[in-house]
Structure 1
Amino acid sequence: MFIAMNRFRVTPDRTDEFEAIWLERESHLQGLPGFVEFHMLRGPEEEDHVLYASHTIWRSREDFEAWTHSEAFRAAHANAGQSRREGLYLGPPRFEGFDVIQTLGADA
């Protein structure tokens, strides 16, 4: 399993705008080989930003990498530049990829 995350530092007075961008966008993830689930997470609020993270779970790193080279990826990110409105973000998103080495569930 592979987890792909992007962290976004959003200006505190623009969080409604940021959330609307994500809630209204088409992800193009459903039905892709290896896609498991997606979460948009709202984290702690600092003085100058609110931390958000997109959290996507994939069956494997290879499935994730195949998606990044797909038409679905290009379609999902076609309007990404439009969402980079002046003052919305404190810098670019920060990507982090994780290979899962242990999973514990409620039934384990």
Structure 2
Amino acid sequence: MYIAMNRFTVRPENAEAFEALWLGRDSHLKDMEGFVEFHMLKGPEANGTILYASHTVWASEEAFRGWTRSNAFREAHKNAGETAKLHEGSPTFEGFSTIQHIA
């Protein structure tokens, strides 16, 4: 398994719009080969911002890389430049290969 995460820092006054954006978008993930699940996580508030993380689980890193090169990825991210004003700076990407999974 491969886990792809993006961390976002959001000012509290933008939190409602940021959440609405994520909750209302069509991610196109469900149709992708190797897609397992997605979570949008809301974390703690500290230093005047709220931490959010998108958390996507893939069957493999290869499946995730295929998503990033797909038309579905481009469609899901086509308005990313317009929504960047809702979070501070660029999202921080982190990719992880699973070395243990207990279910």
TM-score, length-scaled by structure 1 = 0.92
In 1, the alpha carbon distance for the partners of 2:58 and 2:6 equals 14
Matched residue count:
103
Q: Which residue of 2 aligns with 1:76?
A: 76
Matched, 1:103 2:98: no
Q: Which amino acid is the alignment partner of residue 60 of structure 1?
A: S
Q: Please, which runs of 5 or more residues in structure 2 have no aligned partner?
A: none
Q: Which residue of 1 aligns with 2:51?
A: 51
- Alpha-carbon distance, 1:31 to partner: 2.0
Aligned-residue CA RMSD (Å): 0.8
What is the aligned-residue identity percentage? 57
TM-score, length-scaled by structure 2 = 0.97
In 1, the alpha carbon distance for the partners of 2:79 and 2:87 equals 16
Within 5 Å, which residues of 2 pair with 1:1-108?
1-85=1-85, 88-105=86-103
Is the radius of gyration larger for structure 1 or structure 2? 1
- SS in structure 1 opposite 2:96? strand
Q: Please, which runs of 5 or more residues in structure 1 have no aligned partner?
A: none
More strand, by proportion = 2
- Alpha-carbon distance, 1:41 to partner: 0.1
In 1, the alpha carbon distance for the partners of 2:72 and 2:83 equals 18
Q: Deviations over 1:29-81 (max 9, x none)?
A: 01210000000000011132100000000000000001100000000001111
Structure 1 segments, 4+ long, off by >4 Å, are: none
In 2, the alpha carbon distance for the partners of 1:89 and 1:95 equals 14
In 2, the alpha carbon distance for the partners of 1:69 and 1:7 equals 21
